[in-house]
Chains A and B, each alone.
Chain A
Amino acid sequence: MSDQQENMAFADDPRLKTVERAMKRLQYQPDALIEVLHTAQEAFGFLSRELLAHIALCLKLPESQVFGVATFYHFFSLRPKGEHNCIICTGTACYVKGAGEIVTRLEQEFKLKAGQTTADGRLSLGTARCLGNCSLAPMLTLDDHVYGPETAQSTLNLVRQALEEGSDEQS
C-alpha cells in the first residue's frame, strides 16, 4: 500500500470520527490533550504514530509534545493490546500477599514478560501499581472484571478459561 492509500484508509476510519467529535466538543484546546488521547485510545485500543500526528495537527501542538505526553503516562499504549487483558495488582498489600508469584507463574506459563502481549495477540499481561482494592489482595482484573483474592493457580485457571471461551466464540 502506498503512503497515500494508507492515509486515505486512515482518514476514512470510522473510529476517527469519535476522536474528531471529542476534539470539537473540547473546542480544539491544546489544554485538552490528555482527554483527547483518552478518547483516541478508547476508540482505537492504542495510539499509532499517525493518530498522534493527526491529533497534534488538530490541536495545533508540536508533534513532539503530543508524543511526549503519550509516552509519559503509563495509561497510553503505543502498541496494540491483546484480545484478553490481564492486569495483576502489585501494590504493597498485594505484594506482601504474593502477587509476585502470580506474575512469575503467568510469565512462565504464557512465555511473555509483564507489559507484553503474546505472539498470537491473544493475551496481554500487565501489572498495576495499585488498583485500590487492597482488601481483596492479591487481586487482579481480567478484561475489566475484578477478581480476588487469588493464587497463582486460580489465576492461571481464570486466564485459561477466558482464552478458551474466546476461541469457542470464534469457531
Chain B
Amino acid sequence: MRSAKPWTRLGTLTALLSATALAAACGSSGSGSSGGAEDIVLGANVEVSGSGAAIGQQWQRGIELAVDKANGDQGFLVNGKRYRWKLDLKDNKTLPDQAIANNRAFAGEKAKFILGPGVSTAFVPAMNALGNGDRIVMTPSVAAAQFIGKSDGNNLFITHLSDTGDNGRVAKMVQTLESNYHAKRVAVLLPQDDAGELYTKAFTQYFTAAGAEVVYAKAFPGDTRDFSSYITALKGVNPDLVVSGYLDTWMRPFLEQSAGAGFTSPVFVGAPGTNVTSLGQVGASIQNFAWSVTTRAVDNATDPAVQPYRTAYRAKYGNDPGADGFWGLSYYDPILMMTKAMQDAGTVDNPKSISDAMLKVTQWPDAVLAEHFDPAKRQAVYTPQIGFYAAGKITYVEAK
C-alpha cells in the first residue's frame, strides 16, 4: 500500500535535499555558529599517517587540545562577540599531493587560519598551492623560512625555534652535549636531503667550534635501511659521539644495527626529529643516547610547566603523553597565542592585524612553552630541552 502521493514524496525529498544542501553550505563556509558562539574554521593539514605519522599524530593531539582549551565551554570573546574554533583537520598522509589537495580545499572553504603541513616536503608545495598570503599559516616546517619576506608569507609563522644560527636548536644542542660528554671525536651520519645537509653542516660547524674534531661526515640515501657498511666505517674512525637521524625511520634501524654490530660505546645523538623511542628493542645495549626535545618534554611528570597539558591530555586521550608527546607543543601554544592575538587585535577576519598582534603576544592563558615570535624571522623563540638516556633512565635539561 502506498503511504503518500508522488507529489507529497517529491515535496519531502525536495525539503530534505534543501536541508542537506543548507547544512553542507554552513559546514563548508568560513564561519557558522554553534551554541551562541560563531564558528571560525581552523584548517589543519596534518601528517596523521605516512612516514611523518609518529610526529603528525602528536601534532594532531596538540591542535585538538589547544582548540578545546581556547574554546572552553562558552568560546572566546573578541570585540565583545563570542567565537569558537571549528577544527577541520585533514590528513595529508605525509604526501605532497595530498597536502596540496588539503590546502586547496581549505582555500575553497575560505579558511583564514591554516596549520601545517609540518613536514617540509609537504609544506612547500602546499604553501605554493595557497597562492597568496591573505590568511594566517602556522607551521613547524624549517622550509617555511623561504617564504618569509615574500608576499606569500605575509602572515606566516614558524612555530619551531630556528635550527641554524648561534641561538638555534643545533647550536644549543651541541653546547649542551659538549658540557655533558666532552666529546673529542664526532661522527655525523645523516640523510642525503636538504634537512640532512643543513644538520650536517650545522653539527659540523658547532662541534668544531666547541673544539671537537669531526672525524666522519657522510650522507646516506633516504631509502637506506641497511646501515651495516656505514657502521663498519664508523667503527674504523672510533668516534666518541655519533649524530644520526633525523627521523625514527632511520634512527631506529641504525641503532638496532649498531647494537647488533657491537658498536655501543659512543654517545648516540638523534638530530632534531628523533626521540627516545628510536631505541626500540636495543635500549639495554646502547649506553648513552641523547636527542633534541624540539619543544618541551611533556612526558616529564616532575616538570610543573607541563602539568596542565598532561592533565588535559590524560582527560582527552585516557593516557599520559609519551616521549614523543613534545611534538604537540609545536601547535598547542601557537594556537593559544593566535587566539590571544585575535582578542588583542579585536578582529577575527583581518589577518594582517592579527599577525601584527601575534608578534606582540608574550603571555596567554594556559601557556606551556614560554615563547614569542621574532618579528623579522616570524619564527618562535624559546628554550628547547635535550633528552638524555643512560642505563635505562631518562633526564631532561634545558638547552644552554
Do A and B pair up? The answer is: no
A residues within 8 Å of B by Cβ? none
B residues adjacent to A (C-beta < 8 A): none
